[in-house]
Structure 1
Amino acid sequence: MISALTTITDIVDRIRTGQITRIVALTGAGISTAAGIPDFRTPTSGLYDQLAPLKLPYPEAIFHINYFSHTPEPFYAIARARHPRNLLPTISHAFLALLARKNLLSFLFTQNIDGLELDAGVPAEKVLQTHGSWKTQRCHKCKVPYPDDLMQRAIRVGDVPYCLEAGCGGAVKPDVVFFGEALPERFEVEEKRLTGKGVDLMLVMGTSLKVAPCSRLPQSIGEGIPRILINREKVGDLGTREADVCLLGTCDEGVRQLADALGWRDELEGMWADAVERKEETNRRESWDEEGPTLEESIQKLTEKMKEAGRISQGHRRMLEQHLGAKFAHVLPRKSVE
């Protein structure tokens, strides 16, 4: 057990001497910001602030199943700009893959749906995508799977794909977990591992710890087990225990600092370069390397469409009110004056 006021040097020494061999990681949106995906809550630059022109009932509505079920347009307006097939893994993703290569990564909980840790080389059996992924899709109503080629076409042009089953008409949704939907059953199974004796270190990267149930995972770690936070700011209760170490800054800066301390920097940079090259080749093969609209452009385009739709619906409503008013003026009895 590490003593009071643990430092990064203490943890590095324990990794080098084989005292730390089972690392569990939890990652959030901050690990992918360098890939071009804005995080959710950073003021002005976060996704939720950028969605302000759409005048959603609340920012998270774009990812809530109830809102999506009747208004899927905002989600698909930003789908091309945020689709992971456009993106390349960061050096932070490569660091997780390096831990796996060295048999140090016991398990990874990721709140991200981009799959970039898999692109970087983390074995799929060591990853739980707690919020699902973009790799498959189905109708949100009847749950019938939807063809990949039609989904790709819809994302490229920003259209909403609808179910092909006769009489359904439900909007197709990628197999990501929206607000209001249950997490994979596997989550509870893997969470129980944290409360046992199978963890030597927990690594928390790029998350606000504001979304349950992943937010409770760091607290599940035993009191004397070290926890490393790599994040722009302290979150949750990280930094309150004697065995906590906080590396504040971007995730990429933090993993480079850790890799330097471990003497892994060259190996890490090499793994990252290889991962990027593989993903670029995949993108070329699947035609995902074509430049699409930016997130800002996508939001502006939908804002204009929604304004136009609003003018049309208001005009129709006035026309109907006038028509019905004139019609019923002839049939409704006049008020009695008695």
Structure 2
Amino acid sequence: MRTGAWSWVLVVLGLWAGVVEAQPLVGPSVGNADLLMAEGSRLYNTRQYEEAAESFLKATRVRPEALGAYLGLARARFGANQLVESYLAYRAYMKAAPGSPERTKAEKELELCERKLKSARQMTVVEVRVSGHVDKKATFFSVLEQKRIVGEGSAAEVLRALVDAGYLGPDLGEMAGRLHTTVGETLGALHRRALGGQAPKPEEAASVRALYALAREVGAPLAEEASRAPFLEGMAALAAGQHARAQELLAEAAQAEPERSEYRRLRAEALYRAGDVAGALTEMEAHFPNDSRTAFLRAEAALGRSAREGAQELEALFFQRYFSPGR
């Protein structure tokens, strides 16, 4: 195998390792917000505070605009004596719910939490956490603007670090939404270029599955994944001379989206480049019987069988092309 092919394989394996280990970050893939809220309330009422906090935390990830989840999280964490985390959850709630009927009560609870933190000399920990969140948010928007979406130092990596660091707030949904939109735009541009004959570069093809996985992690799956992912990888394989792999991927794409005639035509091209003239002809005759390329394939296939059959096909092609009615 050529060095370039090996490097492509290594990139693919590296990205897939990240995809396999990754867990949903924000949005419907995390779970059902209503069920998580209900479970959190049930656990809180039975004084299972740590378990309740986990449910409320997931609810904030599923639906970052759900203000009740932050208040439930703050109270559950306070009950579990997780004072720093409780304070941050109260702060997220207070910032996002200026007109809430529970605000007055929540303010008193926040004050109590703050007094306990000061008594335990932990306010510095809070300040360091908040400062880290601010820095990570700034980095996220910076790398997203540069269209660094997946991989080391990417927007996906920074967003995951922000979530892992315990960041809370409705703007988490905005960040996830912008990342999801950018993923869709990037894949859409790759698809349009590939349809126009510009195959994805190896590194672009290697990132396709990771991009579709990221769309699920920060929102909802992209509907066209089943067809476009193998199509883009198939086009890259075709450009790299990996014709057998290309025809497999393009067949998968065509099966997933049969109305896309381009996928079938390109599969026939991959078969032809792999030396399977008969297979390419079968594909073209089944889906493009009147295409001029099908006629040339018939002639080539006939030449492969015998000179006489080839001559007959070439003669038919010649008269059809130059002496057909109306010419």
> TM-score, normalization: structure 1?
0.26
Q: Which has the higher contact order (CA 8 A, sep 6+)?
A: 1
Structure with the higher fraction of residues in strand conformation: 1
> TM-score, normalization: structure 2?
0.26
